[in-house]
């Protein structure tokens, strides 16, 4: 198989719009979980400690949180159909791509310094789908004019006494 065919297949699997996730971001990942014949949504909130192959269809993030004193890490494929949405709640200033040093730290030493960012522009990823133009122009129906009737107000009781 040629590389171009593999690239086409990979691009077909990609989602159209993905949030720009970076290491140091605190994210809330919503994932579909299948139990029996039903699906439910489960959220996992933590710090992104690694981003792999950002431009590929196999892009992956590793999210870490500490629960009951135990560190829990989950790895998510960004373009997976099971990942419903990723919302960035906080962005931190970091200078590395892999924050593996956070595994050894706990408490105040594991904190990252915050950075201001515009939540609305980061989390609102909209996909503008191309709407095919119709071949035949649609004729607009004539708009009927509505005649305005003036309603006279009844005089108030104070004005009637005068």
Which residues is 45 bridged to in the sheet? 28
Check if the beta carbon of residue 13 is closer than 8 Å to that of residue 79. Answer: yes
CB neighbourhood size of 79 (10 A): 16
| DSSP state for residue 69 in the 8-state scheme | T
Is 71 exposed, middle or buried, given 0-12, 13-18 or 19+ CB atoms closer than 10 A?
middle
* Torsion 44-45-49-55 (CA) sign: positive
Dist. CA 134–CA 63, nearest whole Å: 46
Per-position pLDDT tens, the chain of length 162? 688 887 887 777 777 777 888 898 889 999 999 988 899 999 999 999 999 888 788 889 999 988 888 889 999 998 888 898 899 888 888 888 888 888 877 777 777 777 777 666 666 654 444 444 455 455 555 555 655 565 566 666 665 565
Dist. CA 152–CA 78, nearest whole Å: 65
Residue position matching structure tokens 């009737």 = 149
CATH annotation of 18-122: 2.30.30.790
Residue position matching structure tokens 């970076």 = 22
- What is the predicted pLDDT for the residue at 157? 60
Check if the beta carbon of residue 28 is closer than 8 Å to that of residue 43. Answer: yes
Spatial CA neighbour of 99 closest among 89, 107, 111: 111
- What is the predicted pLDDT for the residue at 131? 46
Task: Kindly report whether the global pTM for this prediction surpasses the value 0.75.
Answer: no
- What is the predicted pLDDT for the residue at 126? 46
| DSSP state for residue 56 in the 8-state scheme | S
Q: Where are the alpha helices (DSSP H) in the chain?
A: 3-13, 119-123, 157-161
């Amino acid at each position: 198989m040629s590389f171009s065919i593999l690239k086409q297949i990979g691009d077909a699997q990609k989602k159209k719009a993905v949030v720009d996730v970076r290491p140091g971001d605190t994210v809330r990942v919503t994932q579909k979980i299948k139990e029996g014949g039903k699906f439910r949504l489960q959220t996992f909130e933590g710090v992104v400690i690694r981003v792999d192959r950002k431009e590929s269809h196999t892009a992956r993030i590793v999210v870490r949180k500490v629960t009951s004193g135990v560190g829990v890490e989950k790895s998510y494929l960004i373009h997976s159909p099971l990942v419903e949405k990723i919302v960035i709640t906080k962005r931190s200033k970091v200078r590395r791509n892999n924050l593996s040093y956070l595994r050894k730290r706990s408490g105040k030493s594991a904190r990252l310094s915050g950075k201001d960012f515009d939540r609305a522009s980061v989390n609102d990823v909209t996909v503008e789908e191309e709407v095919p133009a119709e071949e035949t122009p649609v004729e607009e129906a004539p708009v009927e004019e509505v005649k305005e009737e003036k309603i006279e107000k009844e005089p108030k009781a104070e004005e009637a006494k005068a």
